[in-house]
Structures are given as C-alpha cells and as structure tokens.
Amino acid sequence: MKKLLAKSWVRTLTGVAACMFAATAVQAEPFKVRLDWTPWGNHAAFHLADQKGWYEEAGLDIYFEDGNGSVTTVQIIGSSDNFDAGHAALAPMMIARDKGLPVKAVAPFVRRNDIGVLVPKDSGMKGPADLKGKKLVYTAGSLEAPFMEGFLAAGGLTRDDVELLNVEAAGKVTTYAVDRADAVVSTIPFVLPFVQKQRPSNSIPFADYGLNMPSFGILASEAKLKTRGEDISKFASVTARAWEYIMNGHEDEGVEAILAARPQARLDKAVLRGQIDALKPYFGKPVEGFRMGQPIPAEWEEAVQTLTKVGLIEKGLPATDFYVTDMVKPGQYDGMIKK
C-alpha cells in the first residue's frame, strides 16, 4: 500500500513539474516596435539592449522595424494594431494627438528640440541675424518649416530677408555639403556628423531662440497602453537604462551594436559615433528627481507653448494630455545593467 501511494505521489509531482516546465517554456508574446528612420546613432540603446539580452531578461520578445520618417511612424502607431510602440520625434506626435489621433508619449529621451541650422565653421554666422541675404536649404513639408518665421524673427528678420531653397529631405544634406547653399535647416545630431568631413559646420539650435520642445522618444497608442501597458513600461524602462549605460562611457558599444544589428546597411562607424556625441546636449541637463526617459512636466508645458505659438496645435489641450506618467522605471534594472 505504501509503495502504491509513493508511486502515486511521484506521478503527481512529475505531472506538476511537467506543467510548470511547459508554462515557463511558453514564449513571450512578440513586442513589435516601429522606429523613426533607417539606422542611426539615436538607435544605439535599442540595439545594445537587444544584443545584450536585457529585453529578453525583462520578459520581452522584441522586434524592431526601421522607419521612413517620424510622421509616418506616429500615424502607424496611432491608426493600426501592427506595432506595440514606436520611436519618433514627439512634436509630430503632439500635433497628431491635437488632431485626434489617440497616441501619447511614454518616454522622451531627447528632451531638447534638435532642429536647427547648420552653417560653415568659417562663415562667422552665429545666430539668425547673421543669415540675412543667405541661401538656406530646407524642406517645406517637414516639421522645421513652421518654425522658420519664429526663428528668423528672433534675429529681426523675415522670410523676405533670406533665400529659402525648398529641397526634398533626402537631398538636403548633399545640397549643403557641396556648397550649393549657405546653410541647411534640419535635425542637427543626424546631419552634423555627415557633413563634417566635406564641409565642417557649426549648429544654431532653434531651442536657443524660444522654440523648445521634446524631440525623440517612445510613444504608444491608447489602445496598446491598455492592453500591453506592462510590456510597454518594461520596454521603455530597459531602453532608458540602456541609454544611461551608453552615456556613461559606453558609446562605442552602442555603435558596435548598431553595426551588428544592421550589417547590410553600410553604416559609417565614425558617423554613428558622431551622431551619439552630437545627441548628448539634446538629451537635456539632469533634473533632480527624474531619471532618463521620465517626462518632466515643465518641459511639456514649454512644448505646448512652442507648438501653439507657431500654430501647430490649436485645441488648447493641457500638457498632461500628451504623455503618460509612471511608465518609465529605469531604477528597476540597475542590478541588471551596471554602471
């Protein structure tokens, strides 16, 4: 009788163990992220965290898809179920939300407006007033266009005081680099490393002239925040912690991770490192009580004022309507990602 009972318990325990093993063997639901653009330095944290297994350790089965512009990424995230989160410039996200698209910012990493004007180092141009009579290449349909009047006005100029050359986004950098324009208006950290060899340049940020707002960060739809909120929080938190790691002297690891993730892209290692370095000032100064990626209310108030001033948002929504709080918790991964 004792032997029969013993065998029964063995079978029971074996069955329980098998069930537990089966449960742990079930893979996590894939977590799909749409990026803003083709690979560049701003993707370092994503690829490094993926390469080192930090997302997997947090319970995420991550998948990244490169994008073709922030506006497109915002539209896809807000209007389809294909992705769980996106990475894009957050001003287009604010504009889209003001127009009714159900998207919100989760983790603003690049907290300072990174749009500005690049000018040759030897030109003597240091501010908007110095652009009088100059030829500026820009893209009329891009986010930079509505800011031109405000930026020029800070130097006492109007559009009539400069020559604005409208060029498609893909051709702007080349037009400037080959000296067909005196300056180029674009995303500074992305473009600056590309032109330094051919045409060494300095930057004049719009943010220095009263036109500040958050730039790149993670966003999600309201629907995904409800159904996959925990995973979105993990994704944003691990990414934030990965950025802290990279900015603490591990920039080259970030570069190598991008190269390893996109081996067919023919990326320039020096340009990628230059982009990461150029991004640093736009991540913003540390604010007491806030870690990387955590929304800072005062900065979002400023963003609403900036976008309202240039007529890009109109409904008068409060700043708190554009972002979610308590989602980004990099401190939870301090033990996993050291230094």
Q: How do the pLDDT tens digits run along the chain, 339 residues long?
A: 444 444 444 444 445 444 444 444 457 899 999 999 999 999 999 999 999 999 999 999 999 999 998 999 999 999 999 999 999 999 999 999 999 999 999 999 999 999 999 999 999 999 999 999 999 999 988 888 999 999 999 999 999 999 999 999 889 999 999 999 999 999 999 999 999 999 999 999 999 999 999 999 999 999 999 999 999 999 999 999 999 999 999 999 999 999 999 999 999 999 999 999 999 999 999 999 999 999 999 999 999 999 999 999 999 999 999 999 999 999 999 999 988
Residues forming beta bridges with residue 203, ordered by sequence position: 118
Please state the φ and ψ torsions of residue 303, each to the nearest 5 degrees. Answer: -60, -45
- What ranges in 100-228 are assigned the alpha helix state H? 148-153, 169-177, 188-195, 222-227
Cβ atoms of 210 and 127 within 8 Å: the answer is no
Domain 115-209 sits in CATH 3.40.190.10: yes
Query: Which structure tokens are listed for 280?
Result: 């640093």
- Say which DSSP state 80 is in: -
Residues forming beta bridges with residue 118, ordered by sequence position: 184, 203
Taking every pair of Cα atoms in the chain, the longest distance, rounded to a whole number of angstroms, is: 102
Question: What pLDDT was estimated at residue 57?
Answer: 97
Q: How many residues does the chain have?
A: 339
Cβ atoms of 312 and 33 within 8 Å: the answer is no
Question: What pLDDT was estimated at residue 10?
Answer: 42
Residue 176: which residues within 8 A CB-CB, separation 6 or more?
Answer: 118, 137, 183, 184, 195, 199
> β-pairing, 135-138 with 163-166?
parallel
Question: What pLDDT was estimated at residue 28?
Answer: 82
Cβ atoms of 203 and 196 within 8 Å: the answer is no
DSSP-based three-state secondary structure for 188: helix
Handedness of CA 161, 167, 168, 170 (dihedral sign): negative
Query: Rounded to a whole number, what is the distance in angstroms from the first to the last CA of the chain?
Result: 60
Question: What pLDDT was estimated at residue 143?
Answer: 85
User: What homologous superfamily does CATH list for 30-112+213-333?
Assistant: Periplasmic binding protein-like II (3.40.190.10)
The model's pTM is 0.90
Question: What pLDDT was estimated at residue 14?
Answer: 45
Question: What pLDDT was estimated at residue 141?
Answer: 83
Domain regions of the chain by residue span: 30-112+213-333, 115-209
Query: Which structure tokens are listed for 154?
Result: 């800070």
Residues forming beta bridges with residue 164, ordered by sequence position: 136
Cα separation of 110 and 190, whole Å?
Answer: 12
Counting other chains too, the contacts that 246-250 makes at CB distance below 8 Å and 24 or more residues apart are 246/44, 246/45, 246/48, 246/276, 247/280, 247/283, 248/339, 249/339, 250/48, 250/339
Query: Which structure tokens are listed for 178?
Result: 């080959």
Q: Position 192: which residue type?
A: L
Handedness of CA 112, 117, 121, 127 (dihedral sign): negative
Identical fold for domains 30-112+213-333 and 115-209, yes or no, is yes
Cα separation of 202 and 118, whole Å?
Answer: 6
Residue 37: left (phi > 0), alpha (psi -120 to 50), or beta? beta
